[in-house]
Structure 1
Amino acid sequence: MIKVVHIGIGPLGQKVVKYARERKGIEIVGAVDLDPQKIGQDLGEFCGLDSLNVPIMESLDDVLNEKNPDVAVVTTLSSLERIESQLKELGAAGLDIVSTCEELSYPWETQPEVAGRINETCKENNVTCLGTGVNPGFLMDYLPSVLSSVCQNVEKVRVSRVQDASSRRIPFQKKIGAGLTDGQFKEKEQNGSLRHVGLPESVYMIAKAMNWELDNVEETLQPVYAKEHIGSGYTDIGKNNPSGVEQIGRGFIDGEEKVTLHFRAAVGEEKSFDKVEIEGTPSFSSTINGGVNGDIATSAITVNAIASVTKAHSGLKTMLDVPVPSCFSEV
């Protein structure tokens, strides 16, 4: 039996709780959230389930004083810098960690000093920390790395993720700028609060899997504009207003583009799909028509990774380092 404490009970955290509750061998023993309106409520009832007899607490100490969790599932922040102290506290408490923090998915090139500190804390306390999710963590980095297993050589990798964000949770729709004016979009783009987080990390993860030393990584961002009025999202979007975001990440060696990641998410997008194209021997492409629902997939892979982190060696790990997560009915 793996005892789990959930850190962060927002929309994504609630879905993760629901999925974890269905798995035999996982026992939810605690929950932590800073929102005063959530503190003291029963976790199960708050997440739309039957009572779990697990109150949502204000701090980790409140859980540790009463329970003895094995793994912390963290669904709080996207920023590695902002989540560092939280991860180090969990590691120092002797808990393995699975987090949906996008910048944690492969931080060794983008934020090596922070990654080094988290890794040191984990090794000192003999625990494992993993950043995962559908993207980054699977579709645009881990999946193409695995698909390259059948290649004798690889020259280039291109991944495209295009999705209609209408069915995604509201925080995601807001994060990609759906429903903003053009001016609001540009303002949020400039202050860094509007974008899909994790594209450079995905570029570097693929390069690591290929054993490529990249000279340069670039990322571009631009709005997707509504061609007509859209009413399928969390708010109405007027014609010619931003309905989402389009980003491209590129990795270069000697001026040659080796990794290209195309991410486009917008409310009302006509066709959703995920596509991996590998140029090499053999060259091939693999497409998931309709795409993978990000909220379902992120919640699922987070739960599926719980068993993987308990089997991995200590330290800060990526999806390339841990035993392959898979859907399981019982630990």
Structure 2
Amino acid sequence: MINILQIGFGPLGIQIGKYIAQKSTIKTVVGVDINPDLKGKLLSDIGTNLSNDVIVFSSVKEALNSLTIKPDVAIITTVSSLEKLIPQIEEVAKFGIPVISTCEELSYPWKLQPELSKQLDEICKKHNISCLGTGVNPGFLMDYLPSVFTSISKEIEHIYVERVQDATPRRVPFQQKIGAGLSLEAFKTKEATGTLRHVGLQESVYLLANSIGLELDEVTESLEPVIAETSVASEAIKVQKGEARGVEQIAHGYKNGICKIKMHFKAAIGEPRSFDKVTIKGVPSFTSEIDGGINGDIATCAITINCINSVLKAPAGLQTMATIAVPGFIN
């Protein structure tokens, strides 16, 4: 049995807890959340289908002191910011517990945040643990998966990755993060604070480039609202005509002035067609498309769990999806 320390019980953490509860070879043994309303509660008090004998504590130290065994892995589902995440990882690292996190900036921080990456790598090596940032995107669909496709390429001229999704069934925090339901003025105001966007698109470009040995000279990114032409709604958010129903981001990776990697991300409530698509121009040239797309919430929870064995085998230090052993389904 692989024992899990879970940190963070927002919608994603709760869903991961439910998936773990369905497994026969892994188990959440203790939980941590800074929300004072959750302190001392059982997981079963937080959500149905969660363990009924697991208590939530407000700190890692308290949580581990309550156990007679040390957890094998910590799963952290708290923040998107690497800077905010590092103290949380360090708190776990001191107890010699490897970490898997859904923090988007952790997926490949080496280029955009080199000093923080070095700091975290040193923390992990000091305490002899591995640390991985993963998820459906970044972490799989727009970076790791395309890198796997390049394995059959003799030559590569250009890689174009597209993820277009209807955000209607996604969790509410995701819909809020893409600006659904905001006026254009409010959208631009929130965009200026850096809190409105899909986090991780540039990280995906750099991860893919690194996986194929491509040293990019420049990566650019644009962000625009997707405007509702008619009123649309999800279960939680109503969008009026003229308001933003989501976001569209495009990133380009250049080498010697030539675009070698392009990534197109679009997520909006009421989007008529969802799909994930990778196009590689080279020898051979080909396109692979997942019609209907992959549900991001389900896939992020699944891949976080399914990377556990790979992380347990990984050497100490800051890892990426490209540096761990290929993950697979945990029954």
Cα separation, 1, equivalents of 2:142 and 2:196: 19
RMSD: 1.0
Alpha-carbon shift at residue 326 of structure 1 (Å): 1.2
Alpha-carbon shift at residue 88 of structure 1 (Å): 1.5
The one-letter code of the counterpart of 1:296 is I
1:63 corresponding residue in structure 2? 63
1:102 corresponding residue in structure 2? 104
Gaps of 5+ in 2: none
Alpha-carbon shift at residue 73 of structure 1 (Å): 0.1
Quick check: 1:165–1:233 contact (8 Å CA) kept in 2?
Answer: no
1:244-298 per-position Cα deviation (integer Å, ceiling 9, x unaligned): 0000011000000001000000000010000000111100000000000000000
Counterpart mapping for 1:273-292 below 5 A: 273-292=275-294
Cα separation, 2, equivalents of 1:100 and 1:51: 21
Counterpart mapping for 1:87-98 below 5 A: 87-98=89-100
The one-letter code of the counterpart of 2:132 is L
Quick check: 1:17–1:47 contact (8 Å CA) kept in 2?
Answer: no
Counterpart mapping for 1:74-223 below 5 A: 74-223=76-225
Structure 1 stretches of 4+ moved >6 Å? none
The one-letter code of the counterpart of 1:313 is P
Quick check: 1:199–1:249 contact (8 Å CA) kept in 2?
Answer: yes
Counterpart mapping for 1:212-251 below 5 A: 212-251=214-253
SS at 1:156 equivalent:
strand
1:11 corresponding residue in structure 2? 11
Gaps of 5+ in 1: none
Residue 305 of structure 2 is aligned with which of 289, 294, 303?
Answer: 303
Alpha-carbon shift at residue 146 of structure 1 (Å): 0.3
The one-letter code of the counterpart of 2:226 is V
Identical pairs, percent = 50
Quick check: 1:243–1:268 contact (8 Å CA) kept in 2?
Answer: yes
Alpha-carbon shift at residue 126 of structure 1 (Å): 1.1
1:307-331 per-position Cα deviation (integer Å, ceiling 9, x unaligned): 11001111100000111111121xx
The one-letter code of the counterpart of 1:221 is L
SS at 1:166 equivalent:
coil
2:23 corresponding residue in structure 1? 23
Cα separation, 2, equivalents of 1:210 and 1:295: 28
Cα separation, 1, equivalents of 2:7 and 2:294: 25
Alpha-carbon shift at residue 91 of structure 1 (Å): 1.4
The one-letter code of the counterpart of 1:31 is G
Alpha-carbon shift at residue 50 of structure 1 (Å): 5.4
SS at 1:167 equivalent:
coil
Alpha-carbon shift at residue 47 of structure 1 (Å): 2.3
Cα separation, 1, equivalents of 2:157 and 2:18: 42
Cα separation, 2, equivalents of 1:252 and 1:27: 44
Cα separation, 1, equivalents of 2:79 and 2:50: 27
Quick check: 1:176–1:195 contact (8 Å CA) kept in 2?
Answer: yes
Quick check: 2:17–2:50 contact (8 Å CA) kept in 1?
Answer: no
SS at 2:27 equivalent:
strand
Length, aligned pairs only: 329
Cα separation, 1, equivalents of 2:200 and 2:50: 35
1:150-207 per-position Cα deviation (integer Å, ceiling 9, x unaligned): 1112111110000000000000000000011111100000010100000010000011
Alpha-carbon shift at residue 52 of structure 1 (Å): 2.8
Query: TM-score with structure 2 length normalisation?
Result: 0.98
The one-letter code of the counterpart of 2:5 is V
The one-letter code of the counterpart of 1:326 is G
1:259 corresponding residue in structure 2? 261
The one-letter code of the counterpart of 1:282 is P
Cα separation, 2, equivalents of 1:167 and 1:25: 30
